[in-house]
Structure formats: C-alpha cells, structure tokens
Structure 1
Amino acid sequence: MNTDKKPFLDSKLIESASLKLRACNHRFRLAILNTLNNEGPVDLPFLVEELNLNQTYVAEQLQFLIDAGLVFALADGNFELNKEKIDAINASLRVFATE
C-alpha cells in the first residue's frame, strides 16, 4: 500500500469543520452569532441583556464559539464575529444544500 498518497478525505479537516458546524447548530450560540453580526463588536453584558440569559451561560457559549474560531475576543473586552469563517461556512452550506 502506498502511504505517500494524501487521504481522499482528511479526517482532521472533517473534525475541524464539524466543530464549526456544531458551534452554529445551537439556538443560543446562533443567537450570539446573529447579534454579533447585527450589532458589531459587543461586550458580555450587552449579550446577556440582549439574549436575556445568565452571564455564566453566555460566557460558556462564547468560549465554544471562540474555540471554534467563529468569534474573536478583543483586547477591549468586546467580542467580534469572524466574518471570514462565517462567510466560508455559508458558502460551503450553499454547496451542500443545493442538489
């Protein structure tokens, strides 16, 4: 067996993409993403008030989104949407969703 060939499907890429899709496939994380898209960079108290959720829960969901690379934690304490990643996900989903 030739081990020099690249795998047909790269399991590390699949795992990374799966993490990003799981991050989006949650109603409160999706609400956070939508809020960041609509409002621009915002801080944690703004998200807590906007989403009417407790601070600990919102912080946990933000961390999941940060770990997935979909949100940036800024030095000033605000959070910002990673539009490049979100646009790439949307483009990929359009490809997969069309027949």
Structure 2
Amino acid sequence: MWECTSYIAEFQLSVGNKDAEKCLELLNLMLSSMKKKWKINSSAFYRHMIEKTDNDNIGEQMLPGIIHDLENDEKLNFLRSKSKVSRNNKSLERKLILTLTI
C-alpha cells in the first residue's frame, strides 16, 4: 500500500469531526509521503503486477485535485478558516503550502 493512502481514513474522520489541527497534520503527512515512489509489487495485494516505469509522478498527478478540494469543497470550509492555502509551481512541496493560524 502506498504510504499516502494509509492516512486517508483518519483524515476523513478528522474532517467529519471538524478537527482542523488533526486534518492539517494528516494532510502534511500525506503530502510528504506523496513524494515517495510507490513500489506496487512490494505490496502483498499487487506483488504479481508488473511495475510501470512512468509512475514516478503519481503524487504530482493527484495534487491538482487535492488543491481543488481544499479550495472548493464545502466540507472543508472549517479547514480554510484555520489555514491559508497557496499554490506555487516550482516543486511538489511548494505547490501546496499550509500555514497554520491556530
């Protein structure tokens, strides 16, 4: 399993509880883990699959959707009031910067 996906359930629970601090903590963990390459055949579920050589940037491919949701999803209104979301195109780390104002 890709490390990033291990945080999703807890993130969704934190969104449901409107726990901004926990959401931002998990979001930062997810973003950090998105930089790591997922070796699909190291998973017991996918060990028989042939690894593609062009999956290095899956985290970057997911980033526009994450940014869109952070900026527009009504369920995340509580999060926007607690953080500042900004974009920068230079690197994965800089494309989404969360500044806590808690």
- What's the TM-score, normalizing by structure 2? 0.28
- What's the TM-score, normalizing by structure 1? 0.28
Rg comparison, structure with higher value: 1
Higher fraction of helix: 1
